[in-house]
Structure 1
Amino acid sequence: MTMDREKPLLRVVLTDVNAEVVRAWRAAFADTPEVEIHKGSILTRHADAWVSPTNSRGRMDGGVDAVIKRHLGAGIQLRVQRAIRDQFGGSLPVGSAVCVPSGAVNPTFLISTPTMEQSAQNVSETLNVALACAAAFQAVHAQNARQPGSISSVALVGLGAATGRVPARVCANLMWTGYTLFNDYRFHDYDDLRETIRGQLDDIGSRPEEERVRVAVPATPGPRRSRG
């Protein structure tokens, strides 16, 4: 993991049809006015990349995943699952993501990040939202490393807030954690990301629901790993 000292040139848009999630975002992100917050479908947002919460197999059969699949066409699921197979052996761990061409003008890319291992799984008592959000932003870093400037804007929904049954306030606070990680760090790979988040947030269940948690800067960077 390395620390990012320069402010990332990325327009971040949070959008959801759930008014409770939107209210929770406005509270959690009150001191980050650069983040845009809207009530409405992600399908109405213009961005280089949309982030879709998925499952470890990339089956886009429910929630926002299914909405996006209907909008972009069945081929998007094939591209997501091919990327999961090629990069992760067919199963995408929570705390990782794939970024694939969407086949559309808006968005250019779809970032799929699992909030759950199986479809319609209750993840309300887990760190999965923070892991998924951080992984989505890590995917932005990775794509821009491959093609500089290819993602300058990204839209996200309330990760885990619908199918995953994560309470709106918990969802918002964990997404804030993921966003601050994007501002502060650039992880060597997804293993590094998961290790850092789980190492510092494992006791999150014992903290007040309204508490926002910012991952601390480590004394020394972690070892560089070869796997993504």
Structure 2
Amino acid sequence: MTVNREQAPLRVVLTDVNAKVVEAWRAAFADTPEIEIRKGSILDEKVDAWVSPTNSRGLMNGGVDAVIKRHLGAGIQLRVQRAIRDGFAGRLPVGSAVCVPSGAVNPKFLISTPTMEQSSQNVSETLNVALACAAAFQAIHRQNRDAPGSIESVALVGMGAQTGRVPARVCANLMWTGYTLFNDHCFEDYDDLRHTIVAQLDDIENAPAEQRVRIAPPKRAASRR
């Protein structure tokens, strides 16, 4: 499904306490001036949705997940895990995401997307960052399809760069891939998203560290929902 160009553009904020990640973002997104990049905590961002890298069980016990749970309260983990149970039989695959009400005024929503299957897993040799970032943005498409205009701004951290041990420049490049795919295509099914990304990034480990890959959307994404 192509993206509706008549919709208001999404305001995207990339924020992280890690200076290396921020520097890498500035390089990777140098030709994407609409993206706001700054060093700091996601808790300081006044946006409609925060994106939190999680694990497949939605256990918010480490990294940014734990910071957000302390800020929003334990109920946020219950909402995330309920959404995972209802939509994915209790286990959220990498390359999928859930969007739940936060219970707060800011942000209104929390988008949880796994960068790893288990807590503290090393994902530096995987495509998980691109899959997770793309899934988070696709969750925004889905939320706005169901409730138009409900998410007009979002903040993300360096996905996989801390707990997942993904090098900062690799993280930044893969997040760029996820963001550009959001602008180009709206997937009806997370399986289609995963297959499309994996097929085109399969040999990325042989590419130079500074190389970015823009995913070519499928000509037709089959709907399975």
Structure 2 letter corresponding to 1:151? I
Indicate if the aligned counterparts of 1:7 and 1:183 stay in contact, CA closer than 8 A: no
Indicate if the aligned counterparts of 2:181 and 2:217 stay in contact, CA closer than 8 A: no
After superposition, what is the alpha-carbon deviation per residue over 1:132-157, rounded to whole angstroms, capped at 9, x for unaligned?
00000000001011110000000000
Indicate if the aligned counterparts of 2:189 and 2:222 stay in contact, CA closer than 8 A: no
Runs of 4 or more, structure 1, over 3 Å off, are none
Q: Distance in 1 between matches of 2:99 and 2:16?
A: 21
Residue 47 of structure 1 pairs with residue 47 of structure 2: yes
Unaligned runs of 5+ in 2: none
Query: What pairs with 1:189-200 in structure 2 (closer than 5 Å)?
Result: 189-200=189-200
Indicate if the aligned counterparts of 2:69 and 2:76 stay in contact, CA closer than 8 A: yes
After superposition, what is the alpha-carbon deviation per residue over 1:65-96, rounded to whole angstroms, capped at 9, x for unaligned?
00000000000000000000000000000000
Residue aligning to 2:216 = 216
After superposition, what is the alpha-carbon deviation per residue over 1:100-145, rounded to whole angstroms, capped at 9, x for unaligned?
0000000000000000000000000000000000000000001011
Indicate if the aligned counterparts of 1:5 and 1:184 stay in contact, CA closer than 8 A: no
Unaligned runs of 5+ in 1: none
SS class of match (1:3): coil
Residue aligning to 2:85 = 85
Query: What pairs with 1:29-44 in structure 2 (closer than 5 Å)?
Result: 29-44=29-44
When structure 1 is superposed on structure 2, of 44-53 and 201-210 the one drifting more is 201-210
Change (3 A) 1:89 1:172: same
**In the TM superposition, what is the alpha-carbon distance from 1:189 to its structure 2 partner?**
1.2
TM-score with structure 1 length normalisation? 0.96
Query: What pairs with 1:25-174 in structure 2 (closer than 5 Å)?
Result: 25-174=25-174
After superposition, what is the alpha-carbon deviation per residue over 1:158-211, rounded to whole angstroms, capped at 9, x for unaligned?
000000000000000000000000011111110110010011111111111110
Residue aligning to 1:225 = 224
Residue aligning to 2:5 = 6
Q: Distance in 2 between matches of 1:35 and 1:177?
A: 14
**In the TM superposition, what is the alpha-carbon distance from 1:7 to its structure 2 partner?**
6.9
Q: Distance in 1 between matches of 2:169 and 2:4?
A: 29
Q: Distance in 1 between matches of 2:42 and 2:142?
A: 22
Change (3 A) 1:98 1:5: closer
Q: Distance in 2 between matches of 1:32 and 1:166?
A: 22
Q: Distance in 1 between matches of 2:85 and 2:188?
A: 21
Q: Distance in 2 between matches of 1:213 and 1:7?
A: 26
Q: Distance in 2 between matches of 1:64 and 1:4?
A: 30
Structure 2 letter corresponding to 1:4? V
**In the TM superposition, what is the alpha-carbon distance from 1:5 to its structure 2 partner?**
6.0
Q: Distance in 1 between matches of 2:221 and 2:63?
A: 36
Indicate if the aligned counterparts of 2:16 and 2:38 stay in contact, CA closer than 8 A: yes
SS class of match (2:51): strand
Count of aligned pairs between the two proteins: 224
